Amino acid sequence: MNIKKLPVLLIASLCAAHPACADDALTLSLIELLVQEGVIDQKKAGKLMAIAEQRAAEKSRSEPEARKPAEVTATQGQEAPEPGDVRVTYVPDFVKEEIRRDVRRELRDEVVKEVKSHARSEQWGVPAALPDWVNRFRLSGDLRLRYENDLFASENPRFGYPDWPAINKAGGWSRLVDPYRNTSHDRDRYRMRLRLALDAQIAEYLRAGVRLTTSNDRSPIANNQTLGQYGKQYEVALDRAFLQYDYVDGKGRELANLWGGRFANPWLSSDNVYDVDLSFEGVAAAFHLPLGSTPAYRLPNPQGRQTINLGVSKPNQLFLTVGAFPLQDVELSAHDKWFWGAQTGLDWVFRDNVRLRAGLAYYDYRNIKARPNALGERTNDWSAPTFFAKGNSLARISNEQDPDLEPRLVGLASDFNVADAIVTLDWQAWGENHVMLTGNYARNLGFDRQEILRRTGLDIVPRTDAYQVRIDVGRPEINQRADWNLWWAYKYLERDSVLDAFTDSNFHLGGTDAKGWSLGFNYGLAQNTWFNARWMSASAINGPPLDIDVLLVDVNSRF
């Protein structure tokens, strides 16, 4: 109903209720007006008129003398009826009451719909009362509670793995009471993670994003806060801060995405190469080339899987992603550490329920190799990594006057130029449940045995391959109660295949030189709340024996 009809309905309602409107001709005109305005249809009007005529005839027979003067008076001065006109000489009270009810009902229902529509389109109420900038912000977050059980095999050597990151940080072996990693004592830990993200729409295709996270690990690949910290407050880190611009053509197609700052992983990748919690600092761009029409039905593109990042590809498009990321600013030196990357690939949907993603990437790390100092100097101390885990081959940087001193500082023996290929096949098998197959292979092309021997004096055998196979079954994302999925994966990472600083922090407790399998299960407890359990069993490939099983039990909630 158009809002312009409200005056007609109001007049009709008042007139039907008021004694002054009891004039039969006026009542007839009222019925005709209601029909013309669409308040009642012609069929209902005819029914009302027929009933009115019947009652009028009965009343005329009961009061023949009293009605005649009124009838004559009512018809005097009136024009002759047109063909098809219906004239009612008397409208009884019950008919007027029915008209009143119809008018009130139509008025209530239609006016409520009209008012709600105008309120939504014009933002009546609180939204309109707030400043415009408030409506351009979106707050989201998630909370994870975790129980972690780390289990070490009895065959693991007690002093087989020096804790090199701790040694570097302390400034030498002698400054640590125990410079070795824990390889024999099982651990139970209770941990939590809270993340809060704020997105601001600055302009039509330009937005800014900020994310805060708890973390006392001070690690780029983990945001956990280990419980049992009553002696100090929880720590909060600025995990992301970025600008994003999306280029959209005249046909509404998103053809490019540009990022600057610290932002989410833009690559199609597995956690053999990049942990899913890793954020990237620098600049990146993704370009999309449509191949034919976009499919009417799109398979979901969930993020946040435990080991797979699906990137920013679009259905039925070729994509190219490039980026440049500073890793470490070296003061008073031209040898800043950088990471350059490029990936091209295909995203294709066929048969309406199968989605294929494939990507080929090359990641080039600059100035990350260890450079030994001259005797008694510290000139090349900058070549030590600011963060690393375990597994990569290491070389001595420090060169003290006393040759019997243990190394004070170590760094990466090899360069890293990683070629990475990944394929995911996502099939909507039945209902909302999917079967997803993933394969990933990576090789470090930067390993040069002769160059390492010349620079460090170490003859290191190349161990440069990594791969992973994985299958997921169930809902691609857990949103509602009773949603579920489960997955299984086998992982293999040789010593110098990828950078140990960025690979999965949970499998084998981080790093490379590890092989094994993992099994996981997710189940929805309520809307946006789910349970997750994972078991990971891994062992060392080439180093001293090191078998580690990890159990993770999580309760997750997002808001």
Q: What's the CATH code of the domain at 538?
A: 2.40.160.180
- Residue 313 has a pLDDT of 84
**Residues 98, 143: one domain?**
no
- Residue 75 has a pLDDT of 46
CA quadruple 180, 183, 186, 190: dihedral positive or negative?
Answer: positive
**Residues 114, 233: one domain?**
no
Question: Cα(506)–Cα(172) distance, rounded to whole angstroms?
Answer: 27
- The 10 Å Cβ neighbour count of residue 549 is 17
Paired residues of 317 in beta bridges: 290, 347
Pairing verdict, β 254-263 and 514-526: unpaired
Q: Which helix (H) or strand (E) covers residue 344, if one does? A: strand 337-350
Question: Cα(532)–Cα(553) distance, rounded to whole angstroms?
Answer: 6
**Residues 268, 386: one domain?**
yes
| 3-class secondary structure per residue, 403-436 | CCCCCCCEEECCCCEEEEEEEEEEEEEECCEEEE
Of the residues 129, 158, 173, the one at which a domain ends: 129
**Residues 77, 106: one domain?**
yes
- Residue 51 has a pLDDT of 67
| pTM for the whole structure | 0.76
**Residues 45, 155: one domain?**
no
**Residues 149, 294: one domain?**
yes
Question: Cα(258)–Cα(270) distance, rounded to whole angstroms?
Answer: 22
Nearest CA among 357, 382, 360, 379 for reference residue 369:
382
Contact between 206 and 260 (Cβ < 8 Å): no
Contact between 559 and 169 (Cβ < 8 Å): no
- The 10 Å Cβ neighbour count of residue 453 is 13
**Residues 97, 77: one domain?**
yes
**Residues 124, 156: one domain?**
no
Number of H helices, E strands in the chain: 8, 21
Structure-block tokens of residue 443: 């090789």
Taking phi over 0 as left and psi of -120 to 50 as alpha, with beta for the rest, 147 belongs to beta
Of the residues 129, 148, 163, the one at which a domain ends: 129
Residues lower than pLDDT 50 in the chain: 1, 3-4, 6-8, 10, 14, 16-22, 66-77, 86, 88-89, 304
- The 10 Å Cβ neighbour count of residue 81 is 9
Of the residues 95, 129, 163, the one at which a domain ends: 129
Structure-block tokens of residue 414: 């090899």
User: Which one-letter amino acid corresponds to residue 231?
Assistant: G
Nearest CA among 110, 161, 228 for reference residue 391:
161
Question: Cα(247)–Cα(206) distance, rounded to whole angstroms?
Answer: 9
Question: Cα(385)–Cα(406) distance, rounded to whole angstroms?
Answer: 18
Q: Which residues of 119-147 are buried (b: 16+ CB within 10 A; e: fewer)?
A: eeeeeeeeeeeeeeeeeeeeeeebbbebe
**Residues 106, 157: one domain?**
no
Domain count, the chain: 2
pLDDT tens, residue by residue, 393-408: 999 999 887 767 788 9
Structure-block tokens of residue 144: 């994870």
**Residues 338, 406: one domain?**
yes
**Residues 388, 265: one domain?**
yes
Q: Which residue has the tokens 């993770």?
A: 552
Which range marks the domain in which residue 489 is found? 133-558
Give the SS3 label for residue 135. helix
Contact between 547 and 183 (Cβ < 8 Å): no
**Residues 105, 150: one domain?**
no
- Residue 251 has a pLDDT of 84
